[in-house]
Amino acid sequence: MPELPEVETVVRSLRPLIEGRRILSAEFDGSRIFRGSAEGAAAELAGQRIEHVGRMGKFIAIRLDRGALAVHLGMTGRLLFDAEPTKWTHAVFTLDSGTLLYDDPRQFGRIEYGPELPERLLLLGPEPLEVTPQEFARRLKTKRSPVKAALLNQSVLRGVGNIYADEALFRAGIRPDALASRLGRERVLRLHRAVQEVLSEAIDSRGSSVSDYVDAEGRKGGFQASHRVYRRDGQPCTVCGSEIRRIVLAQRGTHFCARCQK
């Protein structure tokens, strides 16, 4: 499931392959992946040059010379360069050199096209790797929800998903069901540091391949081997040896060590 480190890895692998290329044609199937008029978008996309490939939280932001594409990989979305189409290929961008495919079995992903990036992307919270401890603390202070729900809330912080929320809370020694607004200053600072650490390490490992995530060239990530709590329920805690527990919080499987996390 692509979160910030996985999307960042896709963007980094995509950038040298497609930046500067021109879109010759774009085709979309009739699935729910594409928002808006696929035919209109395909007509407008033809002939445009790809100026820049960037990331906003979990969104891939592709700036063109006369418009912008926003791609969200959802749970199982893949942007693949020069790959063979599958029965789950929902979009094909033929470039002047190479082909870009969008594959997505579960169809939780989205592709949007417009003259600018969608406005709601601009309303997302700050980038976790750039947010200051003060701003992070201010945002958590206003949330009367469990801290894990606050971390998953993209208007609080953009890019953290289920894996890295669990891993960051473990590193910070904070229970996922602790109330965000009640966290003391020291704990908030620890969490801020933990979020940045775990995301940076995951980017260095090219993301986590838990189910089927791969980058634009089909390569898996390696950070799943470094998970300390995520999907390790029943196994011993790497720090204290007690059993990692699993609960459901914010409708998500949530993994933590009851002894290390208070």
Partner DNA sequence: GTTGTTACCTGTACGC
Partner DNA sequence: TGCGTACAGGTAACAA
What is the contact surface with DNA in residues (CB under 7 A)?
1, 3, 32, 57-59, 72, 74-75, 88, 105-108, 110, 120, 142-146, 149, 152, 154, 161-163, 231, 246, 248, 250-253
Beta bridge partners of 216: none
| Residue nearer to DNA on the CB measure, 193 or 246 | 246
262 labelled catalytic: no
Kindly report the number of other CB atoms within 10 A of residue 243's CB atom.
Answer: 14
CA–CA dist 17, 151 (Å, integer): 33
2 labelled catalytic: yes
| Residue nearer to DNA on the CB measure, 122 or 241 | 122
Q: Which of 58, 143, 190, 206 is catalytic?
A: 58
Tokens 């606050």 -> residue: 150
| Residue nearer to DNA on the CB measure, 146 or 192 | 146
Cβ 97 to DNA, closest distance in Å?
31
Alpha-helical segments (H) within the chain: 4-18, 38-45, 119-122, 133-141, 147-152, 162-172, 185-204
Q: Is the separation of the CB atoms in 76 and 104 below 8 Å?
A: yes
- Give strand ranges (E) for the chain: 23-28, 34-35, 50-56, 59-64, 68-72, 78-81, 89-95, 99-103, 110-114, 245-249, 252-256
Q: Which of 12, 22, 231, 252 is catalytic?
A: 252
CA–CA dist 203, 197 (Å, integer): 10
| Residue nearer to DNA on the CB measure, 95 or 206 | 206
Cβ 49 to DNA, closest distance in Å?
27
| Residue nearer to DNA on the CB measure, 107 or 238 | 107
3 labelled catalytic: yes
16 labelled catalytic: no
Cβ 154 to DNA, closest distance in Å?
5
List of residues 6+ apart from 90 with CB closer than 8 A: 28, 29, 31, 33, 34, 102, 103, 104, 107, 111
Active-site residues: which are they? 2-3, 58, 252
